[in-house]
A and B are shown apart, each in its own frame.
Chain A
Amino acid sequence: MLHKNSEALHNLFPAVAPVPRHYQELIAWMQTMQPNNLPRYKDVTIDASVKTELNLLLSEIRRGNNSPGFLGPQYAHTIAPLNFMAKDGSPVKALIVGKQSRLVSFRETAVIENTLITNSCVNCHSFAAADQQRFQFHLRGPGRGTLVRSEGELTHIDTIIPGTVSACVYPHWHPSGSHIAYSVNNILQSFQNVPEKVIDVFDTWSDIVIYELKKQAVHIHPVLCDSTVLETFPAFSADGQTLYYTAAPFRNIAHVSVLDNIRYSLYSIPLNPGTNTVAPPAERLYPLSDPAGLSVSFPGPSPDGRSLMFTGSAYGNFTIWHDDADLWLMDLSTGKTEPTAALNSPDTESYHSWSSASKWVVFSSRRDDGRYTRLNLAHMNERGTFNKPFALPQKDPRSDLNLMQSYNLPEFVKGIISFYPQDIFRAKHIKAQEWKH
């Protein structure tokens, strides 16, 4: 019960918390759009740079597909409670929902709600080149597997094969749509007790495999399944000729303090055209020497092939729980790599996704309160740097302030995803085959 002894302090400070500046700007912009909807915030002023950015976003969306600065008018994300898994796997019913939204109309619809699939959850969605017709997501719990929609057909794939440590986990589609690169991970959670650290999520083992849709086969390449290395977060380049991933030397994690010494670096490996099999050797891209306090996660090459964004933190790879996690940008032609100062905040920045024209990014951040993940958008200017980011526009910006759930894995897609929950039960079942190289 809220403690009664606080009564004496009641009059010292205002009882109502102020709306954060971050939201004031958005609210003010919303008033210019719908002046009658938010009468309570008439006194709020808007930051000029944010107003410019928001109007640019609006004009680009209204121009439609033919605009050179085209931004997919939809985004998809999952929305989940704060803690979504008990340490011992006890049956905490997670509310995990895939949602899509139109950025202008603010209409948000659920692609699939886990309440319709008893005791299961959906996550790790991924699209082939932002195509809403070709996507995949995982289903956990009863009826678990990977649901893949391609060529108009939905298949339910059991990706557990003898040669890997787990079923397929973190996905990335080849731009041609023929292959999906996955990490296979043995993931553990550890709950912490200092105020500044609540939870750590880490891999005790991880490899990378490539699933070929046509042959229904999981390709295992020794160079990506090295037992002395933890490989994870695969990402194909926009031209489909390179596979980026992160890797760290294997460590036996006997104590939480070991986690602080696990640092991932960014690697690339060429692919053989046509077959998309890997052509070693792999090249270490960043950092070139063992870093002091920088671990790379979520490599995200831009669709125009010029840049690669990643998340950097002091250690590990589950950056959403790292306060120090920031977004970094690498120029793929020069190798110049630096933090994206305009996008970063003192709190967590983590998952990110490029628009199809490489002009915008949507990224997750905990800058509002340090705990709940919210989505932010930013525009890349002609100088190749980012303008000031802003929170995802909503009909009532205050709704995110009160939302008791976190956003996760935002992705731009080009159109509305058409999917019915009952499709899952009609999906063709496939058992993936192992294909060793």
Chain B
Amino acid sequence: MSSRIQQLFFLLSVWIYFTFFGKFHLLFTEGTQLFLFTWDYAADTCMQPGGTANYLSRFIVQFFHFPGLGALIIAFMLLALQFLVQKVASEKPREHSGLSYIPSFFYLCLLTDLTKYTITGLVSLLAALLAVLAYKHIRNTGFRALWGFISLPLLWYTMGGTAVFALVILCLKFLPPARKTRSAVLISFFIFLAGYFSLWRIHDTGREDILRCYFSIHKGHWNEVISRARKKMPADVLTINGLNLALAATGQAGDCMFAFPQSPQTLSIFNTGEGLLFSAETLFNLGFINEAQRLSHEYMESAPDRQLNALLLAQMAETNLIAGRTAVAQKYLRLLDKTLFYKKPARMIMPLTHNLQLVSAHPFYGSLRKYQPTGNFSSDFTNLDNMLARMITEHPDNKMAVNYFFLYT
């Protein structure tokens, strides 16, 4: 395979993978961060060690809002990794052996779970490779030494611990360049084969399905959740939990519940991990607005990097709006107003914060506002049926709560 064909083949395969098999990972990664176009945000992020890499990767991740574009960006970044490795290793394109694709395939396998491995490491790695390449191309010995002296601490501060790899990568330049032989073609073939095999083995379809289910219930696409479950029987607790909500929303709880594998956990309110997101959606749609807000907030606060989260910030603006706490809703909407892709919806919602009558008249928020309990009671998630009973006693027209209550009876 010529190098151009190899590159095109790699680019296309990465794009296809993320567009069709990792779409919801991309959306989830984008939705669980909040990139603000403000100087304060830039300064706060970049002033931390490794912060520039974080800032750049978060800037890139916001374009994952469009999964096709996000997939293309990742594909080009992985190709850039291959190109830089090739350059650093002094390989001539025509004598291409495919060895330079190993780091790219390795990183591709890591990125199959974007919820655990972000592209920050990839950004850092590219920066480290660029620094090494610059070192390699500086002919003047004095300048080269100076660059080596400056670039490593600079990389450490701006890009984080990946700077250590710059030293390791530097050693690659002492490797002998690969020669064009018949075996080089074979090596390329086997590297691609091993790369795709690893990708196939490491890809977690179940996790993608969970995230797909989350986005469906988040957007209220109930029929989509049910039809997918009918095509492919869900096996994990979270997806069935989301499915139960969809059944309640469409009035099929009583008829179809046991067409799917049920257990006590599938009706649980979760208090850790991504279960918090599913439970926040459940409570939000059932009308327990305070608790939906609390779980959203807890998910956001328990994120490892404690980033704000666009999806949940939007939901917290909505819950505050429904509960009548307009000043808090304005606070969250002001933050969303500083983003690229949440600015428009935030500006659409902002007018509601000036007049609660508009919230009450709203087709979606209005009904949830109407279902707010008037008699106080404490939450008890181990007995959600008791909470539901109180809700439907006070608001028998809350069909979602009535149908969800059927699941318990």
Binds B, one of A34-42, A275-283, A365-373, A407-415: A365-373
Cβ of B325 and Cβ of A370 under 8 Å apart?
yes
Contact B325 A2 (CB under 8 A): no
Closest to A15 in B: B347
Q: Within 8 Å CB of A2, what residues of B?
A: 314, 317-318, 342, 345-346, 348-349
Q: Which of A3, A17, A399 contacts B365, CB < 8 Å?
A: A3
Interface residues of B, count at CB 8 A: 60
Given A17-B350, A401-B334, residue A368 in contact with residue B327 (CB < 8 A): yes
Residues of B within 8 A of A15 (CB): 337, 347, 350-351
Name A340-396 residues within 8 Å CB distance of B: 368-372
Bound-state CA distance A81–B301 (Å) is: 7
The residue from A3, A7, A86, A256 contacting B271, defined by CB atoms under 8 A apart: A86
The residue of chain B having its C-beta at the shortest distance from the C-beta of A1 within the complex is B219
Instruction: Indicate if the CB atoms of B365 and A12 lie closer than 8 Å.
Output: no
**A402 and B334 contact, Cβ closer than 8 Å, known pairs A15-B351, A92-B298, A369-B328:** yes
Q: Report the separation of the CA atoms of residues A88 and B271 in the bound assembly, to the nearest whole angstrom.
A: 9
Stretch with Cβ within 8 A of B (4 or more), from A48-56, A124-132, A186-194: A186-194
User: In the assembled complex, how far is the CB of residue A54 from the closest CB belonging to chain B, in whole angstroms?
Assistant: 23
Contact of A91 with B302 in the complex, beta carbons under 8 Å: yes
Number of A-B contacts (CB under 8 A): 154
In the complex, B294 has a CB within 8 A of chain A: yes
Cβ of A200: which chain B residues have Cβ within 8 Å of it?
378
> What number of A residues sit within 8 Å (CB to CB) of B?
50
Q: Indicate whether A437 reaches chain B with its CB closer than 8 angstroms.
A: no
Q: Report the minimal beta-carbon distance from A260 to chain B, rounded to whole angstroms.
A: 9
Tell me which residues from 168 to 216 in chain B have a Cβ below 8 Å from any Cβ of chain A.
none
Report the minimal beta-carbon distance from B50 to chain A, rounded to whole angstroms: 14
Query: Secondary structure of the A side of the interface?
Result: loop
Contact status A83-B271, CB under 8 Å: no
Q: Cβ of B364 < 8 Å from any Cβ of A? A: yes
Which residue of A9, A90, A197 has the most chain B CB atoms within 10 A of its CB atom? Answer: A9
Contact of A83 among B297, B308, B355, B374 (CB under 8 A): B297
Does B223 lie at the interface of the complex (its beta carbon under 8 Å from any beta carbon of A)?
Answer: no
Known: A17-B330, A368-B327. A94 touches B351 (CB 8 A): no
- Is B328 in contact with A5, judged by CB distance below 8 angstroms? no
CB distance from A228 to the nearest CB of B (A): 25
Contacts of A191 in B (CB 8 A): 290-291, 294, 378-379
Contact: B377 with A192, CB < 8 Å? yes
B116 interfacial contact with A, CB 8 Å:
no
Q: Which residue of B lies closest to A396 (CB)?
A: B40
Beta-carbon contact of A194 and B376 below 8 Å: yes
Please give the distance in Å from B369's CB to the nearest CB on chain A.
8
B331 at the interface (CB under 8 A from A): yes
Say if the beta carbon of A162 comes within 8 Å of chain B: no
Q: Is B353 an interface residue, CB under 8 A from the partner? A: yes
Give 8 nearest A-B pairs by CB, closest first: A369-B327, A13-B351, A2-B345, A195-B323, A17-B330, A15-B347, A191-B379, A13-B354
- A2-B317, A14-B354, A82-B297 known; 7 new pairs, CB 8 Å cut-off, are A2-B349, A3-B318, A10-B351, A12-B351, A192-B378, A194-B373, A195-B290
Name 18 interchain pairs, CB-CB below 8 A, sorted by A.
Answer: A3-B349, A3-B362, A3-B364, A5-B363, A9-B348, A11-B351, A12-B355, A13-B354, A14-B351, A15-B337, A15-B347, A88-B271, A94-B301, A191-B290, A194-B376, A195-B325, A369-B330, A401-B331
Measuring CB to CB, which residues of chain A are less than 8 angstroms from any residue of chain B?
Answer: 1-7, 9-17, 20, 81-84, 86-88, 90-95, 190-195, 197-198, 200, 256-257, 368-372, 399, 401-402, 404
